[in-house]
Amino acid sequence: MEKKSFAVIGMGRFGSSLAEQLYSLGYDVMAIDENAERVQNSIQIVTYAVQADSTDEQALREIGIRNFDVVVVAIGLDIQASILTTLILKEMGVKRIVVKAQNERHGQVLYKVGADRVVFPERDMGLRVAHNLISPNVLDFIELAEDYSVAEVAISEKMHNKSLIELDVRAKYGVNVVAIKSGRSFNIAPDPSDVIKEGDILIVIGQNNDLKHFEEEV
Ligand code: ADP
């Protein structure tokens, strides 16, 4: 299978972190920014870095933007530039367009003009940190649908050496344990008789309100 190639437009905090991660995972990454200094700072962390204004269709054509498997638009503050860039990329026939949105309304417009996926990094991180503040045992929190989420929860002492049947979290809290992480091993189809040990981490799924009660109790 051929390796996917990525272009990331906008080398702000989000774009440069994303580009650096993809590159360090072994992918070809082109960084694009209209700001010469940002381009210069990106040279070390990606395969290529070029200076261009992404609202200029001709400039994108010269870069050969259509040849990338995925193009990420990581323009933060300039909502107009982010929307216009997305529209141009769609019209040029880019295969997959992923765009960072500032807010819900911006996200809706991005889908309308052709984004395949819209991400809300600040909103999602805020959600995670909020859940971690409710309970420090919550290590991660991902929203799946409007009212359903998955949480990664470190277990407290009162759960040590108890089986899933004994804990009965489904009846008590209405949440389901979908996996148990024990050190490096990962049990993705836990049996009701499986015993939870000190240091284990539970992956639970459920309605947000039920998850909240569970997080407060564990
Ligand atoms: P963050 O919040 O992730 O730090 P910023 O809004 O600070 O995002 O950064 C966005 C980056 O996108 C900046 O480096 C800016 O120069 C770049 N940028 C903004 N508009 C364009 C454009 N039309 N073409 C190319 N790069 C752009």
d(CA 21, ligand 1 centre) in Å: 18
- 17: which 2 tokens? 């972190």
Give the list of residues 6+ apart from residue 176 with CB closer than 8 angstroms, or none.
169, 170, 204, 205, 206
- 37: which 2 tokens? 């200094």
ipTM: 0.95
Residues 9 and 111 in one domain: yes
pLDDT digits (tens, 9 = 90+) for 115-164: 999 999 999 998 888 888 888 888 999 989 889 999 999 988 888 999 99
Number of domains in the chain: 2
Residues 106 and 144 in one domain: no
Q: Does the CB atom of residue 10 touch ligand 1 within 6 A?
A: yes
**Ligand 1, atom nearest to 81 Cα:** 23
Residues 175 and 192 in one domain: yes
Find the domain containing 48 and state its range.
Answer: 5-119
Q: What is the pLDDT of residue 13?
A: 95
d(CA 40, ligand 1 centre) in Å: 14
Strand spans (E) along 44-106: 48-51, 70-73, 97-100
172-201 mean pLDDT: 93
Contact 100, 77 (CB under 8 A): no
218 band by pLDDT with thresholds 50, 70 and 90: confident
